[in-house]
Structure 1
Amino acid sequence: MSKKVLILGHSFVRRLEQFVINSVDSRVNENLNLDCDEVCVYYRGHSGASLQRIRALGISYVRELRPDITIIHALSNELCKRDRTVDAVFREMVDFVISLRYGESVKSVVILQTLHRLAPVRRIRYGVNVHWFNSRVDALNDEYKQSG
């Protein structure tokens, strides 16, 4: 029986899935070049999703798929909100991981590093100050490193 890997998050995960599905590069496939007999990868990405929404949807996906490993790429949408502190966002993620590990019995939960944003080359709908945002990303990633 193959191991199930759930990649969960916001638009980055959705775009990653689109990239691997539509890639013409023979080195890229939906299963991330992992042996399909050993590993099955599922993507669940939701554009603009808050951690609260990712958590609600993620719990239902976990109950449906019963993954061995859940990989989470989230929080950049939270970091755009001025009323949210980095510490509060970090604690919400930790709480989500605990609920997956101990409430839903996911064997391994991996949190991917939050990525910096580049300055947009054209006007975008939901612009935030890139330097401010990236400083919050650095603070969040430091929290991850310190937590081990």
Structure 2
Amino acid sequence: MTHPVQKSDQEWKAVLNKEQFRVLREKGTEAPFTGEYDKHAPTTGAYTCAACDAPLYKATHKFKSGCGWPAFFDAVPGAVTRHTDKTFGMERTEIVCTNCGGHLGHVFKGEGYPTPTDERHCVNSVSLKFGKDDPTT
């Protein structure tokens, strides 16, 4: 799939730090309970893609899951694209930024969280930026 924002690895390396590049462009994962936004609990604002600034999640989508990464029950409509990920001998649903293809994490369904969607978007903090203003409204 092609994305509206296209850059070479060299161009991405010029705008992302080493950890952001590893996660967003090489599909890495940050260690659990270490990310800046794991325990972040704002009531307003939005999370955008750390690579391209596209709005991804509203603060009101975030919930405390205890999984060690920021968890969201829904995304801004059209902001996140899902792919089947068959790495590590299992099948999961990878989520990427629709605008630039940056790896965000994975989405899990049916875990029983008391959320409107019964989904958990498990997102790497390093893939996100937070702003107090909500660009999706």
Please, what TM-score do these two structures have when normalized by structure 2? 0.26
Higher helix share: 1
Please, what TM-score do these two structures have when normalized by structure 1? 0.25
Higher RCO by CA contacts (8 Å cutoff, separation 6 or greater): 2
Which has more radius of gyration? 1
